[in-house]
Structures are given as structure tokens and as C-alpha cells.
Structure 1
Amino acid sequence: MAFQHFSAPSRASSAVPRPTARSGVVHVNNRHTTRYTVVGNHLAQHRELSLLAIGLAVHIQSLPVGALVGIKFLSSRFPESEHRIAGALRELEAHGYLKRTRERLPGGKVVTRTVSYNQPGSAVTAAPEPVHTPQQPRKPPPATQKPTPGPEEPAAPAPAPRPVPRQALPQPRTLDLERHRTATALLAELHRHEPGLLLSERDVHRLAPATAAWLERGASPDAVRRTLTARLPEPLKHPAALLAHRLTALLPAPLPTAVVRPALRPDPFQTCESCERAFRAPEPGYCRDCRTDRRGRLA
């Protein structure tokens, strides 16, 4: 008769844990020792951020210092478009997980500085550089070393950008009320063809003379509409400024003017000194018949 071993399990345990609830997720957690990022539940379970913004924040927090996080670079790295990535970055900025500032370098180049916060409201500190001599190789700081928190130093204000002078819009040579009404209606209805080109009443009145200048130069309303709505940038932030630029930079050449020759005035009427017949001549004298008779008699 075999002895029973009460300390041995009655059956082999499964690698998949048994669910402790009737429904929902079951976690299989393994302890990470390398290549991991700590993310707080305030971010992972944020109720106001979109899933794209949460995932983008986790990706940015996992990157090393100096990694590229521009919109064009992220759109080339992930399947989302530039428009969606830009919206997610704005969400992270609004909730304090990201801060982007534009700074001008000593050489004049303007760059964007991006600061990622794993905890909104935390201060930005820099790790001290280790002192080394040329004879001794520079040693990296140990993995457990962390920068000590300190007061946040105010950043130097960036120089204000120079104002760009607004280019004067083209004006028609002659005032035509019917042409001006056509230009106004064309601008007011652009949003029906492109929803992003919704103009205010003030912008319509400001751009109407420039549009009338195009019509004056022989451009049809359909041709003007196609030029103004072709290949719009995404996202379209300033539709009125874009239309003003296109109306100015793409203005067609004026139509050639027809050469009008002055009409020749006929000679005034004269009275013949012989027969008193009226005839046209630059100076008083004899009519054609009397001149012929006089030449015959003299001959």
C-alpha cells in the first residue's frame, strides 16, 4: 500500500491565473528589471484625456533626453496623421503633462523646447555635470542617482518676433458695382466648397476689391474659386490671411488694351470762287471742275 503525501499539490497548477471576478480584465504581471518606464495611474486612467494623448504621453516619457518629439517626426513614426498628433499634444499641454516653448538660439535660429512632466506641476531641474580632467575618462553617473529637486529658475524671455508688414491687396482700376457684388458672393460662398474657408463679414468686405480685380482682368468666377480652394494646408488656421496671400501673389496679368486711333476729321467746306459751289478743302479756292477748266484754258 502506497503512502499519501499530503504536502504535494493535488494537481498541477496552470500558468494562467484564475479569475477572481466573474468578468473584467485579469492581470499577468512579471517584474521588470530593465527597459521599463514608471507611469502614474493619474495619467494611465485619466478621465479627460483621449487614448491617443495617453499613449503619446507614455511614449514621450519613455524616450531619452534629446529625442525628437516634433509633430512631423511623430507622424512618420506612428500611423496617426499630423492633425491628430497635434491635437493630442495640445491635450497634454492643457493638462500639464507637456510644455512647449519657442526659443531663439545665439545664431538666430528658432527652436522648440519640449518638457515632459511625469507628474503635472513638478519643477524642472537639471542633473549636475560630473567634473573630469583630460587625463581621466569621463564616468557616467550611476543608474540610481537622481537629481535633487530645486527651485525652478525663470526662463529668459524670448525676443519678440518682428512684425511682418501686411502687403497691400490689389484693387480694380474701375469701379463696377455688378463685378463687386459677384466678388462678394464668391467669397461668402467659399465655405460651401471648403468648410475651412468660412469668412467673417469683415473679411469678405476686405477681400472683395481684390477678388473684383481678378474678375476685371478676365478671370471667371469658377477660375477664381478653384485657385482659392486648391491644395489647402491642414490644419487651416488663418483662412482670411491665406486668401489675401493668394489673391495678391497669384494675381493674373492685365488684359491687353486695344489701341484706339483717333478718327480723321474731314476738311471743312469751302465755297468755289468761280461757281460758288460748296466743296471740301483745307483752304479756300476753286472746286475740282473749275480747276480742270482753268488748266484747260491756260493750256
Structure 2
Amino acid sequence: MDTQHNIALTHALTGIPGPLPPSGVIHVAFPHANRFTIVGNHLAQHDGLSLAAIGIGVHIQSLPAGSQVGIKALTARFAEGETTIAAALRELETHGYLHRTRARLANGRVITRTVFCNQPDALLRGGAVVPPMRVTVPPVLTVEPAAPVPVLTPVVPAPAPAPPLAPEPTPVPEAAHPLVRVPSRIAPKPPRRPLPQPRELTPELHRAASALLADLRRHAPELVLSEGDVEELAPGAAAWLERGAHPDAIRRALTTELPQPPKYPAKIVRHRLAVLLPPPLPGAQELAPARRAPVTPFQTCEGCDRAFRSPDPGHCRDCRARYWEAA
């Protein structure tokens, strides 16, 4: 069966006009006779939707009206879990493809009405709705016997009569129906932190940092660094040593909980040297306790024995006032 498919595929590729691209996908496309859905590239190639949301959107668009497309129904149909499917449905709602509203029936029952729009931009512009069209054409694939095995040969059917074009929608002023642009979910990545540098890279400091990096593979066999990697990353390790970090502490920070398998050991070490850099050790002046403000001591009044605050012994405020009045 595989041989038959390979021969049929080789035969189909020879029928593609023009030279084949040297890399990338090659499309072998036959006209569909039945069971097909027209999907716009704005959905299939949407740069703001995840692959799960695009796949669920295409699946919902291919279903007939009245099909169940809730989280439970989709979870029973696909291998993805409820969390992934719920997040994909929210993405489709955010970008205007899916609309879920609560409606009350005549008997008082409340239901959830789900509406899927294949072109959200056309909905905002007030475009005309074209009813679904059923297309019936003769089969497009036949089997021709050929030595040594049969070959599938595409037969192009006669073109079906074109359906009547929908009337052009009446232009609507932009102010009445503003086109809402949903921002892309893919945000630019923040710039990578630069590799830390010591204040002074002495030969002794550079030698100790290089030895520490080259020795990492003894403690984590996955972290095998080349000589060029060690030379490039040595200033970052030297900055740690300059800040008083112990070599064992640096080694634990660089080798603990590594991703399995680590594809790029040098990038992992560079990232951790930059992100986990400890602050400089505080000096004795920073560690000294803060001086308390001087407190004025208590004194005993020589006239009434009442306590009062004063740097020098003597009389309280009331006794001093009486003495001044007497004077």
C-alpha cells in the first residue's frame, strides 16, 4: 500500500507545472467533490491565535448548524484537555470569531446561543450574509491500471456553474461601524540582560572564574562548555567572585534544576549568571546599627521635687515662673 501511495505521489509531482521549490512544503491539490469547507487565510494563518484555537475554529466552521461545540463536547471529541479547549474558545471570542450569549426562550428556559462568524471584519462592516451552498460535482479521483501497480490519476471535472454573486453591500460610514483591531497576543520579547562584568578583571580573578566554569561538567555532566564558551563567560563568573560569592554557591546556582535535556548549555549558564547575580556585600558602615537620637534626661526640681526633662539640674518651668514673678 505504501508503494502504491509513493508511486501515485511521484506521478502527481511530475504534473505540477514549473520547478519545485528547493525547500519548504509542496502542495499536491485535487478539487474536492464533497465534504469540504472554505476557510479564510485570516483564520488559518492568524498571527494572534494559538494553533489550538486555529484548529478548533476550523473544526467549528466545518460542522453543520446545531452541532454541539461546548467545552464538554469538544473534550469528548479531541485529546486536548478542558483547560486547553477553554483557552482556545476564549481566544476565538477575543478575536471576534466566536460569540456566546445568554438567551431566554418563550417557555422561560435560559440557553447559551453560540454563533461562529467566518469573517469578523465583514461582520463589523455590515456585510451581507450569504446562505451556505451545497456543491455536488462528480468524483475527481479514478484508478487507472498501470504496470506494475495501479496509479491514482486526477481527473479534472467540468467546471460547475458559478453561483450567483451576492449583491454588493451598501458602504457604511466608518464612524458608524468602526473597525476594531484586536492587538496581537504575541508580545515582543524583553531584551536579554547583559553578562555582568567585574570592576577589575585581574589575571587571578579571570583564572579562578575560568576554572570554575570548566569544572561545571564534573557536577552536571550536561554542562559541557567549549573553550570559547569559557572565555566568553569568564567575566560573568568573575563578577560573582568579586562580589564575595563562594565558588560552591556559584556552582549550585548554575547546576541546580537544569532543563532536561539542556540543548544549549552555554546559553543556560549565561542566563543564570546575568539573572541570579547577587548584590555586592555591604560594608561595615552599612551594617553598623543606626545611631539613636540623643534623649534629654530627667531632672528633679529643686523647688517642688517634680521630675522634668532638662540637660542640666535646676528648677522646673512652674518654679522658674514663680521666681521670676517674685523678682
TM category, shorter = 0.3 to 0.5
Higher radius of gyration, 1 or 2 = 1
TM-score by length of 2: 0.34
TM-score by length of 1: 0.37
Higher relative contact order (CA 8 A, sep 6+): 2
